[in-house]
Chains A and B, each alone.
Chain A
Amino acid sequence: MTTAPLLASTWPVTSVGVVVTVLSLLLALVTGVLAALNRTITRWVLALVALLEVALLVLTGQLVVAWAGGNAPEQPVVLLAYLLVVLVAAPGTVWWGAAEPGRWGTGVVCVACLLIPVLLVRLQQVWDVAAAVTGHA
């Protein structure tokens, strides 16, 4: 960008967003295969979930920095709600799935990892809503 941004809301975390999406889909693949093999959640899954959470925290940090710097989201309440769900989805389902031996416990984590990329798209839409809906009263 050579000129000052005219739009107040421009999604500030494009590259971290890609990392989160790739990690999340990788986890979905791993847990999907483990579920197909009727395996319980393994250490590899926990390590990948930890990595995913680190990436999500970096993303959150960048959003906060952008927000504090004046690049504010158009719908802050909705954005925070999505952000909260995105952050707790993987650890929450690990907790919920760990109590269940076999494929269904692992499958629960798979569901969360398929959800996260979708939520990320929604996050971006909520952040960029000013660009999408002009003249919004």
Chain B
Amino acid sequence: MPEPEAIGSDVEATAGSTKHGPGRVLITVYAILAIGSTARALFELATKFDQAPVPYLLSTFAAVVYCVITVALVKDTPGWRRVAFVGMVVELVGVLVVGTWSLVHPETFQNTVTHKGVHSVWFWFGLDYLFVPLVLPILGLNFLRRTRRAREI
């Protein structure tokens, strides 16, 4: 068991940290998405990339973004905090653009041979992940904003 480093002082001692407090849960959810999307993207690239290059490359991009954010939150330094912020902005824009595009231009998300629909991580704003990808960057950016303020006080 890790030592109880901050018992009773989880507000003061961990204020501004990205890996304590709510950050602990945030990292957990990001890590789950990072593992899930990375495994998915590797599988898609390795076994059927030719069948739907665009959706599978978009999955890969999402996977990289989730991995970067997870690492940045765990690293928990001012520099990595900026990386996490940029990563979450990219994530939010990505899920909104890809999600909208998948609704407006479904023909982009098709198997080139069978013309059947093909999903991607951010397809329909993260349908395959119960829309967590749509909510997570909003919660993440809000968390960074609040803890930055806590750090300044």
Residues of A within 8 A of B (CB): 77-78, 81, 85, 93, 96-102, 104-105, 107-108, 111-112, 115, 118
Q: Is the CB of A111 within 8 A of B7?
A: no
Q: Is the CB of A104 within 8 A of B43?
A: no
A100 to B25, CA, bound (A): 10
Q: Contacts A111-B29, A118-B130: A97 and B24 contacting too (C-beta < 8 A)? A: yes
Asked if B28 is an interface residue, CB under 8 A from chain A, the answer is: yes
State the majority secondary structure of interface residues on A: helix
Q: Contacts A77-B43, A98-B1, A118-B130: A108 and B32 contacting too (C-beta < 8 A)? A: no
Total contacting residues, chain B, CB less than 8 A:
23
Asked if B78 is an interface residue, CB under 8 A from chain A, the answer is: no
* Residue on A nearest B46 in the bound complex, by CB: A77
Q: Which residues of B contact A108 (CB under 8 A)?
A: 24-25, 28
When each residue 88-107 of chain B gets 1 if its CB lies under 8 Å from chain A and 0 otherwise, what string results? 00000000000000000000
Q: Is the CB of A115 within 8 A of B24?
A: no
Q: Is the CB of A78 within 8 A of B28?
A: no
Q: Which residues of B contact A78 (CB under 8 A)?
A: 39, 43
